[in-house]
């Protein structure tokens, strides 16, 4: 008992410290455990076993404690749940943020998993489904037929009408053909995939019409695969894997006008896969008759498997789920770095303003670029091989053609107009007034340049990142985006939230604050295809509710008149009932109206990207706790799992 009390006391102290998480705590924690880590590393052979044993012992203690708690709760649970199963979700949640972190650069001590799930093998088309060339049916070899089906499945998509897509597809398709097929099939325009396309549409329709039992069977098989391959053991804890299925082969689409669209994404085989696990774990077995490319034991990385895809030559990884310790720690670290920027951002701003006057052109260019990254939350923009990717740019790679200068525009002075394609080929268009010195510098940078020349010809991403690193350890353009996004959310919530508002009205304020951030970060989307229809349905509900309210008010008026005439208890109760009905319908109507406003305002803004990647979740959690908003209204179940550390850590007074 003493030991348990001591542990509880220790845990409470730790929790208190983490609640007010800051750099001081981290330094203290690291110092405190540095010697322990050195000691562990000295005995590296036995470290995994000892570490796992330590976790096992602690887990046993935890289980004993929990058993005691469960025992006390048993009677209450039985009474309160009417025979339903009690969710153990809360009790089983591993609070990794309350434990010490590795300070030697390692990410884990023990890692065991089953490896990836491969795409099913190709099933040839039934004999009755034919491919036609020049109007005549033609039997294709299995490899050629498989690639033809990829095109057939996309026949109704605008991609298949694009010249670059068709050219790349045909070139790669011919590589899969036999020499005989190559000699016959020489023109894509003579190919007829329509019968194949109709077959796949019918298949898709049949899947939609499946019986409940058939759907259940598929669901059970997916669940079996998830249980077998979707989890790993990391440092004695069962952790969910994010993407344990290998992507099937298909045609590369890319975003925007990607020069490689239409190329064949090849089937990934076990021989392409590098497995990463601990030496003392049970290694994953490759499918029968195959072998892995390599098995590694690198605990300085967080991936479980990797391979190189054939289109861009980039490395793909199987990683843990966002709710895992590894991902959570990375998120937490990201927001702590942005909070460190808050402490020195004034100094950095003063520095770049001073640099606008520098005698060196390269320093002036660097200072103006940094001003844009800070003020407009622009991405830095990486150098790319020409013709390898779509023509997208960031701050450092802006060209003369991407900006226009207006000494005066619409009653504003020194206006810069930006127009370029950013990440994922999303257009960035903005007219923004800038400071006079920035404007004069831009005029200088544009002198004697052609439209296709670089605006910042003395600057690239690596030069900028090196400079940012000198200003603050760990500083990048993304840290500026994270800082500006989070600080904007916090300020907007303070300005927009009224404590007297109803919960739906407060949530509307939250979404408006979130939208201000999404606009800052240029997170756009095309309005959903069903937008008009869903808005019409919502408007119909509003009209219906208004009619109900009108009828309820009439009934209340009649009840009041009745009570005035009779003055008895029965009529008094009737008035009260009708009043409550009016109140209830008014609340329902307001909810629907708020929903309509919210949906209309956000039809072209993607709120999710900033909410999940740029906004410190502790700001939202603190706001919920301060104004009594259920966290479920802001974060769905998956998001709550991802941000469990923030939900537990932040109190109502948390400041970014």
Give the Cα separation of 340 and 22 in Å (integer).
9
Q: Which residues contact 345 (CB under 8 A, 6 or more apart)?
A: 374, 483
Backbone region of residue 67 per phi and psi (left: phi > 0; alpha: psi in -120 to 50; beta: other values): alpha
Tokens of 69: 């708690």
Asked if 513 and 601 touch (Cβ cutoff 8 Å), the reply is: no
Residues forming a β-bridge with 320: 241
Tell me which residue has tokens 């669901």: 219
Angle of the 361-376 helix axis to the 436-446 helix axis, nearest 10:
120
Report which of 153, 41, 53, 152 is spatially closest to residue 106, judged by C-alpha positions: 41
Give the Cα separation of 212 and 83 in Å (integer).
26
Tokens of 357: 């006057």
Report which of 506, 503, 467, 516 is spatially closest to residue 615, judged by C-alpha positions: 516
Asked if 630 and 624 touch (Cβ cutoff 8 Å), the reply is: yes
Exposure string (b/e) for 276-296, b if CB count within 10 Å is 16 or more? bbbeeeebbebeeeeebbebe
Considering the candidates 229, 614, 635, 654, report the single residue annotated as catalytic.
Answer: 614
Q: Which residues contact 280 (CB under 8 A, 6 or more apart)?
A: 48, 49, 110
Give the Cα separation of 323 and 239 in Å (integer).
8
Residues forming a β-bridge with 433: 415
Tokens of 131: 């491919």
DSSP tally for the chain: helices H, then strands E: 21, 15
Examine the residue annotation and report whether 429 is marked as an active-site residue of this protein: no
Q: Which residues contact 540 (CB under 8 A, 6 or more apart)?
A: none
Tokens of 548: 């109900």
Give the Cα separation of 485 and 517 in Å (integer).
5
Give the Cα separation of 598 and 521 in Å (integer).
19
Q: Which residues contact 538 (CB under 8 A, 6 or more apart)?
A: 592, 595, 596, 599
Give the Cα separation of 594 and 602 in Å (integer).
12
Active-site residue set: 614
């Amino acid at each position: 008992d003493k030991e348990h009390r001591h542990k509880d006391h220790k845990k409470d102290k730790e929790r208190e410290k983490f609640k007010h998480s800051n750099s001081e705590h981290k330094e203290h924690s690291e110092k405190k455990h540095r010697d322990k880590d050195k000691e562990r590393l000295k005995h590296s052979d036995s470290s995994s076993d000892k570490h796992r044993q330590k976790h096992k012992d602690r887990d046993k203690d935890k289980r004993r404690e929990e058993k005691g708690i469960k025992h006390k709760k048993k009677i209450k649970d039985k009474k309160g749940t009417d025979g339903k199963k009690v969710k153990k979700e809360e009790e089983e949640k591993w609070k990794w943020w309350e434990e010490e972190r590795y300070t030697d650069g390692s990410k884990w001590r023990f890692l065991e998993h089953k490896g990836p799930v491969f795409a099913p093998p190709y099933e040839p088309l039934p004999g009755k489904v034919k491919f036609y060339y020049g109007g005549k049916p033609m039997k294709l070899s299995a490899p050629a037929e498989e690639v033809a089906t990829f095109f057939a499945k996309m026949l109704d998509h605008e991609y298949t009408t694009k010249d670059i897509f068709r050219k790349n597809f045909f070139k790669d398709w011919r590589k899969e053909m036999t020499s005989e097929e190559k000699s016959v099939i020489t023109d894509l325009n003579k190919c007829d995939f329509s019968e194949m396309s109709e077959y796949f549409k019918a298949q898709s329709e049949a899947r939609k019409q499946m019986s409940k039992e058939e759907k259940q069977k598929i669901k059970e098989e997916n669940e079996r695969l998830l249980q077998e391959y979707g989890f790993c053991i990391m440092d004695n804890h069962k952790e969910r894997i994010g993407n344990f299925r290998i992507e099937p082969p298909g045609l590369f689409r890319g975003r925007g006008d990607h020069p490689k669209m239409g190329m064949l994404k090849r089937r990934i085989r076990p021989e392409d896969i590098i497995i990463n696990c601990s030496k003392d774990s049970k290694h994953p077995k490759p499918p029968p008759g195959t072998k892995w490319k390599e098995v590694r034991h690198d605990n300085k990385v967080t991936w479980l498997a990797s391979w190189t895809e054939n289109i861009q030559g980039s490395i793909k990884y199987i990683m843990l789920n966002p709710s895992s310790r590894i991902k959570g720690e990375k998120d937490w670290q990201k927001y702590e770095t942005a909070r460190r920027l808050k402490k020195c951002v004034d100094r950095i701003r003063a520095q770049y303003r001073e640099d606008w006057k520098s005698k060196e052109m390269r320093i002036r260019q660097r200072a103006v670029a940094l001003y844009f990254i800070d003020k407009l939350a622009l991405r830095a923009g990486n150098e790319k091989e020409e013709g390898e990717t779509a023509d997208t740019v960031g701050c450092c790679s802006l060209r003369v053609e991407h900006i226009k200068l207006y000494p005066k525009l619409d009653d504003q002075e020194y206006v810069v107009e930006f127009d370029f394609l950013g990440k994922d080929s999303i257009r960035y268009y903005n007219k923004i007034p800038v400071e006079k010195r920035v404007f004069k510098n831009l005029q200088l940078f544009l002198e004697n340049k052609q439209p296709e020349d670089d605006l910042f010809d003395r600057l690239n991403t690596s030069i900028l990142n090196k400079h940012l690193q000198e200003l603050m350890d760990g500083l990048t353009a993304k840290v500026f985006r994270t800082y500006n996004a989070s600080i904007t959310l916090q300020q907007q919530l303070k300005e927009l939230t009224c404590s007297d508002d109803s919960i739906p009205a407060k949530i509307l304020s939250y979404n408006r604050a979130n939208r201000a951030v999404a606009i800052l970060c240029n997170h756009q989307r095309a309005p959903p295809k069903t937008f008009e229809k869903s808005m019409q349905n919502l408007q119909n509900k509003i009209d219906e509710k208004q009619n109900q309210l009108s009828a309820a008010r009439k009934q209340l008026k009649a009840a009041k008149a009745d009570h005035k005439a009779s003055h008895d208890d029965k009529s008094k109760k009737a008035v009260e009932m009708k009043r409550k009905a009016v109140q209830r319908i008014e609340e329902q109507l307001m909810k629907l109206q708020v929903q309509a406003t919210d949906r209309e305002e956000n039809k072209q803004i993607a709120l999710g990207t900033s909410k999940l990647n740029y906004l410190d979740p502790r700001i939202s959690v603190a706001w919920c706790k301060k104004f009594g908003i259920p966290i479920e209204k802001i974060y769905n179940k998956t998001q709550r799992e991802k941000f469990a550390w923030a939900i537990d850590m932040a109190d109502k007074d948390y400041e970014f």
